[in-house]
Structure 1
């Protein structure tokens, strides 16, 4: 293994950005995907995202285009980040009203003493996976033992979800060798420098669309279908700003509902906004993947955004056992579905 469990610098960054050039550009004054507030009669709502505006987030652009946020008296200001940890840090520092982050960022920040609350599950289906070229014959989690496995970074969700898959099959990170590959992982995979790669659905889709070739895929959701992303706020703001957050969530959910029913139109809207929106085929592919991750049996019963605490509790337990966090996380106290029930 290339790192030790325990204290890890910047360890609650969920994932690096899908486009390396966007990282530097995201801090540029006047960047086109940073929304400017100030429209007459609208209240600014600052969304701290893990990324700049990407195609996989197209349903949010639909909410803007269709006026769903405006109908709630809101105008969105997009605060781009370089991973979930950055997004959460930005919100806690006062730069935003809500953070769009992976659950690992929530666990790790809570473990360090932050008082937070998750109020909406954007993607209740786990989007993470581990894949390998067919010739590697890595088909089940047990085939990972003794293998060299790429991750985006040691602080990314790719690492933590890989650790979860291993733990559920009686293994730990000590049973594999981790290699941080960054954003451009394809050469290491095709050249055999790693046996497998921990990834997400959209990252794998992008690689395959660029000619990666046939692969075998181990999906994290087949073993623990925990959330990919949550909307998280500071606990102190929950009671005094309930109406503010409810209006935002209502506008957000209407955009997702419209995207599910009208994916082609949603893709056309997304292509005009997303920084990775030049290829219409890839835009549609990314959007369809997020439509799938936004729905499951629980959301069909309770509605989009419902937070299922069971998988989150199981995931938090694994994080402690793996040494990523030091304390028990009270998931029941950390999440609420009260606002979702009002939508």
Structure 2
């Protein structure tokens, strides 16, 4: 496959073990200057922040839910594992890795902990060209899955293994970010890793696929917020992170109360996105994401950010079974719900009032969220 890199199973750990240099991260990774006491730097796993995926942040920023905390949202290098490396190297404070990338960091000895689980449902999906969706995921044995980064294999392998697939019979190819969806559409590979929110965006770009949805077959967790264990263990930083995560939780609540408003806020932050998606497509993308963020919320005690221990244990057990996770760490040492109660300690009625009062543009007021909900 011209321009693509076939990924060997053992090569995965080699690829992801390389460090991320300060130069690779641009200005953020340069010499850390003296900063105000309350600054939290968040780094994306995607190589860009011009996406709808982070709508809770932009809502919180717009509505003042972070209070006096100075926040940044930065794109990391396209290397899938950069988000944990940069946190470990003190070039960012909060990373947003998939459980697979988080576990690779732990396997490499990074002293990091997960403190806020964004999605109770599995956000990841497998895309197939129209008419080529297999009857069973086991039919992926002997097939090739297209990825946007080699590190994403750490996402796909545990999902497939937990679904009963012999992953030694699955091949991967790194088609590069952001073109891996186009590579699948053009006939390269048999499936592609995707995720909620991206489904709607791809469809809006003419990349109309059939899907196996992770939320329908997977009990594994999705991306979470990871910080340095040293920061978690520092009593002086507890209040800062609780207030910071409260901002995200309020943004999540707002997005559930008024999907159109949350979407419009992101689109006003990044006008270029409007050229990629109509308001209808954009709101559908946001609602797909909101579904995952609110996934299994009853089991999660109706608390934004709550980790389901059994879901995470299943992931770690599966990762160890396939040899992806190494090292003798325990679930309770690396997955923490300590900040969750404080993060959810906000006035929901006020957030709803904020959401209801938000002035929608004519274009977003015209979006029919009830019809979109039927498509989810």
TM-score of the two chains, using structure 1 as the length reference? 0.83
TM-superposed CA distance for 1:57, in Å, is: 0.8
Structure 1 residue aligned with 2:223:
229
Of 113, 120, 124, which residue of structure 2 is paired with 1:117?
113
Q: 1:50 to 1:176 in 2, by over 3 A?
A: closer
TM-superposed CA distance for 1:169, in Å, is: 4.2
For 1:56, what is the secondary structure of its paired residue? coil
Structure 1 residue aligned with 2:264:
268
For residues 259-308 of structure 1, the C-alpha deviation after alignment (integer angstroms, 9 at most, x for no partner) is 11111111111112237522333432322122111112345624111111
Aligned pairs, how many? 320
Q: CA RMSD in A?
A: 2.9
Pairing 1:322–2:332 present:
no
Structure 2 residue aligned with 1:283:
282
Structure 2 residue aligned with 1:253:
249
Deviates most, 78-87 or 333-342: 78-87
Structure 1 residue aligned with 2:365:
none
The 5 A counterparts of 1:17-28 are 27=26
Of 133, 140, 146, which residue of structure 2 is paired with 1:144?
140
Structure 1 residue aligned with 2:65:
68
Structure 2 residue aligned with 1:243:
239
C-alpha separation between the residues in 2 aligned to 1:12 and 1:124?
28
Which blocks of at least 5 consecutive residues in structure 1 are unaligned? 14-23, 30-36
Deviates most, 286-295 or 272-281: 272-281
Structure 2 residue aligned with 1:4:
9
Q: 1:60 to 1:330 in 2, by over 3 A?
A: same
TM-superposed CA distance for 1:227, in Å, is: 2.5
Structure 1 residue aligned with 2:74:
79
Of 32, 38, 50, which residue of structure 2 is paired with 1:43?
38
Structure 2 residue aligned with 1:91:
87
Structure 2 residue aligned with 1:17:
none
The answer on whether the counterparts of 1:126 and 1:293 sit within 8 Å (CA) in structure 2 is yes
TM-superposed CA distance for 1:328, in Å, is: 4.2
Q: 1:5 to 1:320 in 2, by over 3 A?
A: farther
For 1:55, what is the secondary structure of its paired residue? coil
Q: 1:239 to 1:275 in 2, by over 3 A?
A: farther
For residues 91-122 of structure 1, the C-alpha deviation after alignment (integer angstroms, 9 at most, x for no partner) is 22222322222222221111111222111111
The answer on whether the counterparts of 1:316 and 1:329 sit within 8 Å (CA) in structure 2 is no
Which blocks of at least 5 consecutive residues in structure 2 are unaligned? 1-5, 29-33, 344-376
Structure 1 residue aligned with 2:307:
307
Structure 2 residue aligned with 1:21:
none
